[in-house]
Structures are given as structure tokens and as C-alpha cells.
Amino acid sequence: MPKRFYVPMFQHIGEPCRPCVVVGQKVLKGEEVGRAEGRISAATHAPTSGTVVSIEEHVIGHPSYLTVPTVVIDPDGQDQWADSVRGLVNPLSVSPSVIQEKIRAAGVVGLGGAVFPAAVKMSPPKDKPVKLLLINGSECEPYLTCDSQLMVERAQEIVAGIDIMMYTLPTNQCVIVIEDNKPDSIRAMSQAVQPFPKMRVQAVPTRYPQGARQNLIESITGQEVPSGTLEADMGILIHNVATTFAIYEAVVLGRPLISRVVTVSGRGIVRPANVQCLIGTPVQDVIAHCGGLNPGVRQLILGGPLMGRAIKTMEVPVVKRTSGILALLQEEIVERPEGPCIRCGRCVQVCPIRLIPCEIAWRAKSDQMDRMAEVHLMDCMECGCCTYTCPSNIPLVHYFRHAKSVILADRLAQDKLRQDKARIQAKEARMEREKAEKDRQKEAMKAASAARKSAAETGKGALSEAVQQGGLPKS
């Protein structure tokens, strides 16, 4: 157990959550410390019992190396669960909305890497029923083995989780997809699904990026997900095995997502292992648990070697998306300068979604951002195959990320301009209205005073008339 936990408020896709504890407050294990903001968001919880010592900006494993608000907790060593942690005794007898609420409250997100809030995925809209549930047991990347180990050790729980999910959605078909180089996982899962006729295990070829949603769906159904749509539009829902396990824990045990299995590997690690890690544990504590670092570590990566994120410092905490911690030595890294593209076409041949990476990179190099739509830049899932295979060491994915962020920032800027304009017009309209209102009031006042005046005139006239009529005695 580390001396101090750093629980970032931004561990998922969507809106970051807002700290709901104050400095000095005692928290119990599983107590909510960050509240979900908005529909697509996920709560975060205290990984153990202890005291909130500060709420500060802390570095996270993000390629920007920037900080986010983080709740810092000093454990009290009691590791005492909160009272709120209570599971459903018989989940299959309650209303699905109760289960959905449980998952939402537990802050479960997709643990395969996308970190999309699971509760959102578990509440499909009425017009898009889920016909097929895919449980992704294909490891996301080479080096990582956390999912396959989970399947070997927790097959029963995973299957129970699937059962709950199938009841909640509802759906009556489920395929558990496992790569064929993991016979142990396939055996364990096949045994576990035997009592459930609606589930089956299917082995798929081990070929990165098999775990990507596009490839998974193609291998199982033979169909492609149309560009710009989600698999949900096809009536397919994908969940990772680790997410399934988290859902089981959330529903049956009431435990929020406060830990996950992390693969600690690479030749820079003294004792590589799969470790059950509490969320918020600094990377250096995890590495220390695995015997520390070998000398000469050149690169530290959160996640896998193909899609992970390099980190600058070991103060970065393990978060929900951290599937692996890799410490690579110099000899595991190819460090060569970028060369010219010789159009060898290897990137074209390896691209799992049939893009022309070299052409996209050329356009990114020459800043032709307005011509990216025709080469489908936004369809790229950044699997890294093209960069891996490029003989010229061109950082293709880096070019794509650059181009994507430029295009996205531009879209946001355009949106902001539109909003600005709308606000300006709203304000102008309001000013005009107020002015008109004022004018009318002025007018009304003028009219009123004029009326008074004329009334006074008439009054005077009446008086004089009266006088003239000689009603009044001469003074």
C-alpha cells in the first residue's frame, strides 16, 4: 500500500468529474470523491480509507504532461469499506434501471482503453436494441496480458457479469472473443459458460489490432461498421472482460471501480507481473512492488507499446485506463531519425482499416488540413501498425494525431465563434428590446404627463368656464 494516493478527476472520456470532498475530510474505501458531471461522465471513489490531505493539480499520464485537479488521500491503514458499498443479493430479480444505476454510481468505465462510461453503454436507447453482446477478451496490445490472466482467474465472475449485462440490456446473444494464442483463457471461459446456452466462446486469430472494435466486429459478424457510426447502430455492444468483471463487482458486491489489473512488464522491470492495483497508486509504488527498475531504463509507458503513452515521471498515478506499465531499456527501442518516404507501401498493406497512411502523412506535413476528409484521417484509430512497419521511421501516427488535433481545435474554434455570434446577437436583441421598452415607457410617461397637462388645461378651462358661467362669486 502506497503512502499517498492521487486520484485524478479526469480518468474517462467525457466531462471531468468535480471533487465532492473537502481537505481534511475522512473518507472510507469506496466513498465517492469525485462526482460525475453531465451525462457522459463517471464518478471516482476513494481507493482506501483515509484523509483527504489536499485537492491539487497533479500530473497524469497524458501526452501533454499537464496536470488535472486531483484528490490526494493519505491512507489510515484501516482499509475500511464505506457503508454505501452494498451489492444486490439477487440482481436478476430487480429492475434493469436499478442495475444501471449501480453501474453508474460505481464509476465503471471501459477498461480496454477507451474509458467510455459503461453505464451509458449499458442503457441503450429504446430504438436501438442490442442484438449481440461481444465480450472482448482479445488483449489490446502485445506485452499486455492482464485480460487473459483475469479470464483464467475470474472466469466465473466474468460470466456472472455477462449474465447480469444480458439481463439488463436486454439481449440474448453473447460471444466472448479470445485470441487463439491464449488456450488457458479459452479453456477457462468455455468451462464457465457451459451452464449458459446463450453465451459462447469464439477464438480469433492473434493479429494486432484484433482487439479494436472494427476488427473484432469484422471477425465475428463479417460486417464492417460504417464510418462515422457506432457499433451500437448495428445493434452490437462491446465490453472488455475487465469491464465485465468491474460490472460484476459493482452490481453483486456493490464495489465501485477502485482497482484494476495492470501488466507491469518490459526488460526494465526486475520482476514483471500482473498486479491488482488500486486506482491512484503512483507508478513508482507499483514498480517498487515489482522489484523496482533495472538500470538503463530509457522509456516508461502507460498502456501498451503500440498505443500507450510515454510518461515523464513516476509520480503519475495508475488510473482506470492504465492497462500496463512498461519500462523499456535502450535495446528495446529503435531510435532512428525520420527519413524520407520511399513509397514502399508497407503502411498501406498493414493498415487494418485500409487507409493510405503515407498519403495522409504527406498532407499533414504540408498542412493540407482541409483535404483530410477525402483520405479519411478521422477514421484512423491510431493503432500504430503503419509507424511500426515504416522503414523510414516516419512517425505517421504522430502526424495523424497532430492533424486530428488541429482539425478538432479548429472545429471547436468555429463552434465558439458561432456561439459568440449567437450571444452577441442575443445581447443586441436584448438591448434593443430594453431600449424599445424604455422608449415605450418614456413615451408612456410623456403621454401621461401630456394627458395630465391637458387634463390640467381642461381643468383650468372648466374652471374658467365655470367662472364664466358665473357660478362663483367675484372676489
Partner 1 sequence: MSPTNLLLGSSPFTHGSGSIAQIMQTVIWALMPATAMAILIFGWPALLVIVLTTAASMVTEVLFLKLRKRPSALGDGSAFLTGLLLALTLPPQAPWWLCVTGGFFAILVAKQVYGGLGYNLFNPALIARVFLLISFPVQMTTWPAVNPLFGEQAYSLSESVAIIATGHQRTPELVDAVSTATPLGQYRTETGLGKTVQEALGGSYGFNTLKAAEGWIKGSLGETSALLLFLGGLYLIRKKIITWHIPVTMLLGCLLPATLFWAYDAAHYPDPLFHLVTGGLVLGAFFMATDMVTSPVSIKGQIIFGLGCGLLTYLIRTWSGYPEGVSFAVVIMNATVPLIDQYTRPTAYGHVK
Partner 2 sequence: MIDAVLSMSGLALVAGIGLGVAAKKFYVQSDPLADKVMAVLPASNCGNCGYPGCRAYAEAMATAAAEGGRPVAINRCLPGGAATIQAIADVLGVDPVAVADAIGPQMAVVAEIQCIGCTACIKKCPVDAIVGANKQAHTVIADWCTGCKACIVACPVDCIVMVPVPQTPYNWKWDKPAGPHDRFVS
* 437 scored as a contact of partner 2 (CB under 8 A): no
Least distance (Å) between residue 221 CB and partner 1 = 13
* 406 scored as a contact of partner 2 (CB under 8 A): yes
* 245 scored as a contact of partner 2 (CB under 8 A): no
Q: What is the DSSP letter of 337?
A: -
Binding mask 45-84 for partner 1 (x = CB under 8 A): ------------------x-x-------------------
- Cell triple for 301: 509507458
Judged by beta carbon, residue 412 or residue 463, the one nearer partner 2 is: 412
Spatial neighbors of 48 by CB under 8 A, at least 6 apart, are 1, 5, 29, 73, 75, 79, 278
Cα(184)–Cα(190) distance, rounded to whole angstroms? 10
* 368 scored as a contact of partner 2 (CB under 8 A): no
Q: Tell me the window of 81-89, 109-117, 238-246, 379-387 that interacts with partner 1 (CB under 8 A).
A: 379-387
* 380 scored as a contact of partner 2 (CB under 8 A): no
Measured CA to CA in angstroms, residue 60 lies from 69, 117, 310, 323 at distances of 10, 19, 11, 15
Residue of the chain from 42, 237, 358, 403 that contacts partner 1 (CB under 8 A): 358
Sheet bearing 199-204, strands edge to edge: 199-204, 174-179, 132-136, 236-240
Nearest to 255 by CA among 429, 468, 460, 88: 88
Out of partner 2, partner 1, none, what residue 467 binds, judged by CB under 5 to 8 A for its kind, is none
> For the chain, how far is it from start to end, CA to CA, in angstroms?
109
Judged by beta carbon, residue 159 or residue 364, the one nearer partner 2 is: 364
Q: What is the 3-state secondary structure (H, E, C) of 115-167?
A: CCEHHHHCCCCCCCCCCEEEEECCCCCCCCCHHHHHHHHCHHHHHHHHHHHHH
Binding mask 315-344 for partner 2 (x = CB under 8 A): ----------------------xxxx----
Contacts (CB under 8 A) with partner 1, residues 397-456: 397-398, 401
Residue of the chain from 24, 197, 228, 473 that contacts partner 1 (CB under 8 A): 228
Measured CA to CA in angstroms, residue 289 lies from 88, 260, 273, 292, 315 at distances of 34, 15, 10, 7, 15
Which residues of the shown chain bind partner 1 in the complex (CB under 8 A)?
63, 65, 142, 214, 218, 224-229, 284, 293, 297-301, 303, 305-315, 326, 328, 332-336, 339-346, 348-349, 352-356, 358-359, 375-376, 379, 382, 384, 387-393, 395, 397-398, 401
Which residues of the shown chain bind partner 2 in the complex (CB under 8 A)?
10, 16, 60, 62-64, 66, 68, 337-340, 364-366, 392, 394-395, 398-399, 401-402, 404-406, 409-410, 412-414, 416-417, 419-421, 423-427
